[in-house]
Amino acid sequence: MTKIEIYSKKICPYCVKAKNLLDLKGADYTEYMIDSDPDLAAEMQKRNPGARTVPQIFIDGKAIGGCDDLYKLEEKGELDALLSGGSKQKTPDRKGPAAS
């Protein structure tokens, strides 16, 4: 199962927008509220050096970036594959002669 983590703040329209897209995709995610825990903010920066804004999104431990980055993946048609663990395998057709 794909592990999705999002570092966010309570009052953040970009966080809401990113979570709305993840919700629309039916993705389960863990949210870390950095405004209520300074240690989480430090952890976010350690995991993605240079990250100073929220949201910061990680999929299977890989830093995706923020809200705009998430939407760019969606526009390029790459988000669904990431959310499903990268599997875009075609199911074999079992109606052929070998199925008999």
Look at the chain and report how many structural domains it folds into: 1
Residue 33 falls within a domain, yes or no? yes
Kindly list the distances between the CA atom of residue 67 and the CA atoms of 6, 55, 57, in Å, as whole numbers in the listed order: 10, 6, 8
Q: 29-38, pLDDT tens digit by residue? A: 999 999 989 9
Q: pTM here? A: 0.82
Q: 61-86, pLDDT tens digit by residue? A: 999 999 999 999 999 999 999 999 86
Residue 67 sits in a domain whose CATH number is 3.40.30.10
Residue 91 falls within a domain, yes or no? no
Print the domain residue range for 52: 4-86
Backbone φ, ψ for residue 94 (5° rounding): -95, 10
Q: In whole angstroms, what is the distance from residue 7 CA to residue 55 CA?
A: 5
